[in-house]
Amino acid sequence: MTPFWHARPDGVSVTVKVQPKSRRPGIQGRTVAAQGPCLRIGVNEPPEDGRANRTVCAVLAQALHVPAATVAVAVGQANRDKTLHVAGDAALLIPRLEALCPPVS
């Protein structure tokens, strides 16, 4: 399966599909959306005033064991399909991303 992330010189871009007001918050696995493979993340917050965006960044930061300030929405501020940028060393971040939800064989 194609990865849902792309290494960048200053970190990693992660394609996500966000489920606001989710009954099951947290990382929910891989899926394929219109933009291709992505990571599903559920958040309790509604999509108002950027609350869901801040929460999805915090959920990914916690899962990757990085500070919340290193994760930001790069594309899709007002959309469920987003690209998050995680600043840092891609060589360290990619194994952590792979461990979040291994590909189904």
Per residue in 24-65, pLDDT tens? 899 999 998 888 999 999 999 988 898 999 999 999 999 999
Does residue 60 form part of some domain?
Answer: yes
**Could you give the number of structural domains in the chain?**
1
Does residue 80 form part of some domain?
Answer: no
The helices-and-strands tally (H runs, E runs) of the chain is 2, 6
Q: Supply the range of the domain harboring residue 63.
A: 14-72
Does residue 89 form part of some domain?
Answer: no
Neighbour tally for 90: CB within 10 Å: 17
Does residue 79 form part of some domain?
Answer: no
pTM: 0.92
Question: For the chain, how long is the longest CA-to-CA vector?
Answer: 39
Does residue 91 form part of some domain?
Answer: no
